[in-house]
Amino acid sequence: MNWFSHIGKQASRLASLELFRYIGPGFFVTVGFIDPGNWVTNVAAGSQFGYKLLWVVSLSTIILIVVQHNAAHLGIVTGLCLSEAASKYFKPWLRVLMLGSAMIACVATALAELLGGAIGLNMLTGLPLVAGAVLSAGFSAWMLFSKNYQRLEKWIMGFVSLIGMAFVFEIWLADVSWAQTAVGWVTPTFPLGALTVIMGVLGAVVMPHNIFLHSEVIQSRQWNAQGADVIEKQLKYEFLDTLTGMGAGWAINSAMIIVAAAVFYKNGIVVNELPQVTVTLEPIFGKASAAVFALGLLFAGLSSSVTAAMAGGSVFAGIFIEPFDINDPHSRIGLGITLLGALAAIMLLPDPFKGILWSQIALSMQLPLTIIPLILLTSSKKVMGEYANKPYGATVLWIVGLIVIGLNIALLVDMAR
């Protein structure tokens, strides 16, 4: 009996170890899910409406899981990232429209991420925003030139963990109402004047560059070349990886709203800009709390700028039906366009803080040009073979896609007023 028990434990241990081989790509997506744009909208949600908008994080996480799993599905089965698949299967006019706009979206995303890192540095050291953005861009390029996906994944997982720990610390200091938190997570409410914030939280979650990136990181492992059994196993473990990453993102985004509700809303303080947070936290909880918040923002900006730059390299290389490879000139050109384009925009902006707002508008405009082609590709038997989305799966994806597109269009219209 003991022998069988030992064998069972060993088998369980091996299965657990095997799972860790597949954990990583989902955390690249998570970084985009907790980027500086999310910090702005989540702090606004908590400071203005308390715990009432936590349900938006729950809903947006479910939507994100569906879309990102579909992107990973494409990479696993075809061995192509979304950009490569679009270049291979779409007509020239469609791929130019889709991938050209995707490059603009990557630049817009990098703009917000570099600004987030720069704001974090400014909070900690007083360093000017432009100098901080340049340092953040240099860090991103250095990380990508490490030429190792697995090392990048570990760094990103480390950053996500540090961001999570920062908010655990903030929650520990705050007087949180867990009863209101529990209700807020599952009870949709629409307080007067909350529509813009709701749209902002939802619109900042599903981002074009993350969809391209997830398919890229997955396809880099080329599981499709190892046979049907390996594809089936990868599909199963990938979903667990996506759930793990999205679960971490859900917890961190929830923590942002919870801290803002427990500290700012409770004291009647409305927060409109991130630097205002540390100024407000310091007299309430001390310098340590303000410093931890700034460090968390810095880690979020640095890690998300890495993934934004990598996405830009992947999209540009995919135009030539090539995977992302830092040694390849097309990947380097895409990376350069993304980071240098974002830095140029930051230097030219009269008000850098409005850069995050404009970047969200650009992402909203491009999102339909990413989601619709993704659904078309993964629902095509020509592309996916026996792994093409079944009718019910395609229906769910179209519903989710139309919801996301509708919400982003509504956000765009609201911002334009």
> Which pLDDT does position 221 carry in this prediction?
58
Whole-model pTM: value is 0.84
> Which pLDDT does position 87 carry in this prediction?
95
Distance CA 67, CA 385 (A): 20
Residue 6 has pLDDT above 60, yes or no: no
> Which pLDDT does position 149 carry in this prediction?
58
> Which pLDDT does position 5 carry in this prediction?
41
Q: Which two tokens stand for residue 243?
A: 């759930």
> How would DSSP label each residue in 152-210?
HHHHHHHHHHHHHHHHHHHHHHS---HHHHHHHHH-----TT-HHHHHHHHHTTS-HHH
CB 302 within 8 A of CB 159: yes
Distance CA 27, CA 244 (A): 8
Give CA torsion, residues 369, 372, 374, 380, to 10 deg.
-140
> Which pLDDT does position 416 carry in this prediction?
67
Give CA torsion, residues 126, 127, 129, 133, to 10 deg.
-140
> Which pLDDT does position 8 carry in this prediction?
39
> Which pLDDT does position 3 carry in this prediction?
36
The predicted-structure confidence for 76-113, as pLDDT tens digits, reads as follows 888 899 999 999 999 999 989 999 999 999 999 999 89
Distance CA 129, CA 125 (A): 11
What number of other Cβ atoms are within 10 A of residue 272's Cβ? 11
Residue 272 has pLDDT above 80, yes or no: no
> Which pLDDT does position 353 carry in this prediction?
60
Average pLDDT over residues 275-288: 75
Residue 118 has pLDDT above 60, yes or no: yes
pLDDT band at residue 20 under the 50/70/90 scheme: very low
Average pLDDT over residues 207-232: 72
Distance CA 48, CA 268 (A): 8
Residue 212 has pLDDT above 90, yes or no: yes
12-21, 29-38, 54-63, 299-308 — which is least confidently predicted?
A: 12-21
Top-confidence residue, 284 or 159: 159
Residue 132 has pLDDT above 90, yes or no: yes
> Which pLDDT does position 103 carry in this prediction?
95
CB 324 within 8 A of CB 313: yes
Distance CA 349, CA 361 (A): 15
10-14, 23-27, 117-121, 369-373 — which is least confidently predicted?
A: 10-14
Helix (H) or strand (E) holding 338: helix 329-348
Residue 398 neighbours by CB under 8 Å, 6+ apart: 375
> Which pLDDT does position 121 carry in this prediction?
93
> Which pLDDT does position 33 carry in this prediction?
77
Residue 224 φ then ψ, to 5°: -65, -25
How buried is 175 (Cβ within 10 angstroms: 0-12 exposed, 13-18 middle, 19+ buried)?
exposed
CB 101 within 8 A of CB 123: no
How buried is 113 (Cβ within 10 angstroms: 0-12 exposed, 13-18 middle, 19+ buried)?
buried
Average pLDDT over residues 328-338: 95
> Which pLDDT does position 83 carry in this prediction?
95
Residue 15 has pLDDT above 50, yes or no: no
Q: How far apart are the first and last CA of the chain?
A: 72
Q: What angle do CA 30, 32, 38 make, to 5 degrees?
A: 105
CATH code, 23-416: 1.20.1740.10
Helix (H) or strand (E) holding 4: helix 2-22
The predicted-structure confidence for 163-194, as pLDDT tens digits, reads as follows 888 888 888 888 899 999 999 999 999 888 78
Average per-residue pLDDT for the chain: 83
pLDDT band at residue 1 under the 50/70/90 scheme: very low
Q: Which residues of 32-46 are buried (b: 16+ CB within 10 A; e: fewer)?
A: bbbbbbbbbbbbbbb
Residue 76 neighbours by CB under 8 Å, 6+ apart: 218, 219, 223, 224, 231, 234, 235, 238
> Which pLDDT does position 286 carry in this prediction?
75
pLDDT band at residue 339 under the 50/70/90 scheme: very high
Quote the distance between the C-alpha of residue 285 and its chain's center.
30
Average pLDDT over residues 286-304: 86
What number of other Cβ atoms are within 10 A of residue 385's Cβ? 10
Residue 196 has pLDDT above 80, yes or no: no
Q: How many helices (H) and strands (E) does the chain have?
A: 19, 0
CB 112 within 8 A of CB 355: yes
28-32, 385-389, 401-405 — which is least confidently predicted?
A: 28-32
The predicted-structure confidence for 341-392, as pLDDT tens digits, reads as follows 999 998 888 776 667 767 776 777 788 889 999 999 999 999 999 889 989 8
Helix (H) or strand (E) holding 359: helix 354-366
What residues does each domain of the chain span? 23-416
For residue 90, give the 3-state DSSP assignment.
Answer: coil
> Which pLDDT does position 233 carry in this prediction?
67
29-33, 52-56, 146-150, 410-414 — which is least confidently predicted?
A: 146-150
For residue 51, give the 3-state DSSP assignment.
Answer: coil
Residue 207 has pLDDT above 60, yes or no: yes
For residue 55, give Cα distances in angstroms to 43, 62, 187. Answer: 15, 11, 6
Alpha-helical (H) ranges within 261-286 are 274-285
| Of 381, 297, 228, the residue nearest 42 (C-alpha) | 297
56-65, 127-136, 218-227, 233-242 — which is least confidently predicted?
A: 218-227
